Every structure is written in structure tokens, then in C-alpha cells.
């Protein structure tokens, strides 16, 4: 594989991952927005580190995850959220999603100074300044196979957020229909 070919492949894999993460974060935000608007009473009972979400929606990933968990615990139709192996374990789902989000930060915010092709395995060498002390630059390698795998995993998360949005929407339609009957 030529130098240009493996660099192009690395750029493609990274680009696909970043785009997929953006779509997944949008699906998460759509779920939170829809649920907050359709069931505002549940939003008012949410509390994250002393912060009431009814005053200001969460913008941090940790706040969003806390709100997803809160809605799952309080809204009965969300407790039926399933995947192909059964009911979704909300803690496991959000732990997995947070790990992907943290991985995305390493990919998106690291300064990639070289793309390395060793025996057909392509890696990115990146450096990043820390957000907190100690003020030591970290250096790390990212195998693009891991980025490719993460892109595939995001499909699962995106579909789960979309399904959760459908469950909330269907519950509200049924509730509205029952009121009319």
C-alpha cells in the first residue's frame, strides 16, 4: 500500500467515525429534547449534582447521560427498551456510550502528527494537552481498526436512542388517544 493510500484510508476511517458520532449525539439530543418536551414533568424531577434540568438542559455528556438514566428510571415505556438479546441494561448502555464518547475525544482532539503503516496495520500517533494538572502532554497511538470498530458500535447506540424516542412518542400518542376515547 502506498503512502498516499494508507493516509487516505486513515482519513476516511476517522471521517466516518466523526460523522457517525455526530449522528449518534444528535439521536441522543433528539431523544432528550423530545422526552423533555413531551413529558416536562419528568424533566422537572431530574437532578444532577444539585442542578435542576428544568432550568437549563444539560450540555455536558455526563449531564446528558444522567438525564437518559433518569428518564429510563421514571418513564415506564422506556423500561421496555430492548435490543436483539433482550432488555437493555441502562447502566451498561450508558457506560459503553461514555467510553465511545471519551474515545471520540481522543480521536477528535488529539494532535495527530503522523500516520504509521506497520505491517499493514495503520495507526495514528497523537498528542494532547491535559485539561487538568499535571500539565504534561500525553502521547498515544490509535489503531484505525479500533476507530472502525467504534463506528460500527455507534450504529447500535444510535438505533437505541431512536427506539427510545419512538417509545416516548408512541406512549404520548396512546395517552392522547385514550383521553379522546
The pLDDT value recorded for residue 177 is: 62
Note the pLDDT of residue 120. 85
pTM: 0.89
Instruction: Give the pLDDT score at 57.
Output: 73
- The reported pLDDT for the residue numbered 135 is 83
Q: Which residue has the cell 406512549?
A: 171
* 144 and 14 Cβ atoms separated by less than 8 Å: yes
Q: Are 90 and 69 in contact (CB under 8 A)?
A: yes
- Per-residue pLDDT at 179: 66
Contact 81, 41 (CB under 8 A): no
pLDDT at residue 2, as a whole number: 79
Instruction: Check residue 6 and give its pLDDT.
Output: 85
pLDDT value at residue 36:
87
Give residue 3's pLDDT.
72
Q: Which of 73, 58, 70 is nearest to 25 (CA)?
A: 58
- Residues with Cβ within 8 Å of 161's Cβ and at least 6 positions away in sequence, in order, are 24, 27, 28, 30, 31
* Binned average pLDDT, 10 residues per bin, the chain of 181 residues: 83 96 97 88 71 74 93 93 93 97 94 91 92 86 96 96 95 71 59
Query: How high is the pLDDT of residue 133?
Result: 84
What is each CA distance from 179 to 5, 77, 130, 172, in whole angstroms? Answer: 61, 18, 54, 11
Res 119: pLDDT: 87
Amino acid at each position: 500500500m502506498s503512502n498516499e493510500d494508507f493516509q487516505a484510508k486513515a482519513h476516511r476511517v476517522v471521517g466516518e467515525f466523526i460523522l457517525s458520532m455526530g449522528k449518534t449525539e444528535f439521536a441522543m439530543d433528539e431523544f432528550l429534547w423530545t422526552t423533555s418536551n413531551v413529558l416536562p414533568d419528568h424533566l422537572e424531577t431530574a437532578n444532577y449534582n444539585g442542578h435542576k434540568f428544568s432550568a437549563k438542559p444539560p450540555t455536558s455528556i455526563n449531564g446528558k447521560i444522567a438525564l437518559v438514566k433518569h428518564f429510563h428510571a421514571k418513564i415506564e415505556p422506556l423500561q421496555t427498551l430492548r435490543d436483539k438479546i433482550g432488555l437493555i441494561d441502562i447502566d451498561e448502555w450508558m457506560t459503553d456510550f461514555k467510553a465511545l464518547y471519551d474515545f471520540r475525544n481522543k480521536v477528535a482532539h488529539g494532535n495527530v502528527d503522523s500516520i504509521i503503516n506497520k505491517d499493514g496495520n495503520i495507526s495514528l500517533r497523537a498528542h494532547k494537552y491535559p485539561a487538568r494538572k499535571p500539565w504534561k502532554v500525553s502521547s498515544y497511538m490509535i489503531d484505525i481498526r479500533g476507530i472502525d470498530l467504534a463506528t460500527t458500535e455507534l450504529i447500535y447506540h444510535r438505533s437505541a436512542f431512536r427506539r427510545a424516542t419512538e417509545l416516548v412518542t408512541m406512549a404520548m400518542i396512546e395517552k392522547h388517544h385514550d383521553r379522546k376515547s
